[in-house]
Amino acid sequence: TTAEALKALQSACDYEPDNTLNWWLLGDMHLQAGNIARAERAYTQMLTLARTATRSHPNDLNAQRDLSISYEKIGNIQQAQGDLVSAIATYRTKLKIDQQLTKHDSSNTKWQRDLSISYNKIGNIQHAQGDLSGALASYQAYHAIAKTLAQKDTGNVQAQTDLVISYWKLAVLKGNNGVTTKEANDYLHRAIEIMVRLKNEGKLNAEQKDWEQRLRNLLVD
């Protein structure tokens, strides 16, 4: 049960208080259970540990990624609380770390995906704030990375669905900032094509099975 999982994760954190992964998992479990305040405390502890690790070992790239993930988790909490100003600032801090990591090793697909997630999350807030031109630029940066990763590994469902989401995000900006209805429909058709293929291959999870119809509902005649 969730309660048992939380108890086990808390015990793991108590036993290894310097293990960032334990705090990450504990925060995720609290968030899943709807305990936002407790999730925030766990993520804040993860952030503290990651900051300490990067100061002590500035060349430790794994510690740098832990720091990036910590900022992402804190940003998610801020966004859930409606503090979009703080959230976008936190995501931009994450973005800078991801840019440095990918600059160090551009072939690392995990870091490239982290970078794409930063652009996506920043774009989401820009969109919510009405900064449509900013959102478009962020979504285009997200899409460029997602497309590259999807083309490199056509069998990777996560990479393929990331590409679908990037098409989806671009399509919802139709009619604004030069995104025409024709372009929006083109994005949607490409996303639908991927979803149909994944469905036929039996690779969709329960949540993703209605994506195809939701995408079709956005098509404009």
Of 73, 64, 65, which Cα lies nearest the Cα of 45? 73
pLDDT at 93: 98
Q: Tokens at residue 74, please?
A: 């804190």
Q: What are the C-alpha distances in Å from 216 to residues 158, 164, 190?
A: 21, 13, 11
Question: Can you tell me the distance from the alpha carbon of 102 to that of 7, in angstroms, rounded to the nearest whole number?
Answer: 36
Written in H, E and C, the secondary structure of the chain is CHHHHHHHHHHHHHHCCCCHHHHHHHHHHHHHCCCHHHHHHHHHHHHHHHHHHHHHCCCCHHHHHHHHHHHHHHHHHHHHCCCHHHHHHHHHHHHHHHHHHHHHCCCCHHHHHHHHHHHHHHHHHHHHCCCHHHHHHHHHHHHHHHHHHHHHCCCCHHHHHHHHHHHHHHHCCCCCCCCCHHHHHHHHHHHHHHHHHHHHCCCCCCHHHHHHHHHHHCCCC
Question: Can you tell me the distance from the alpha carbon of 126 to that of 84, in angstroms, rounded to the nearest whole number?
Answer: 9
pLDDT at 3: 87
pLDDT at 176: 61
Q: How many residues does the chain have?
A: 221
What is the pLDDT tens value at each position of the chain, 221 positions in all?
A: 888 888 998 999 899 999 999 999 999 999 999 999 999 999 999 999 999 999 999 999 999 999 999 999 999 999 999 999 999 999 999 999 999 999 999 999 999 999 999 999 999 999 999 999 999 999 999 999 999 999 999 999 999 999 999 999 999 987 666 678 888 999 999 999 999 999 999 999 999 999 999 999 999 87
Question: Can you tell me the distance from the alpha carbon of 198 to that of 211, in angstroms, rounded to the nearest whole number?
Answer: 11
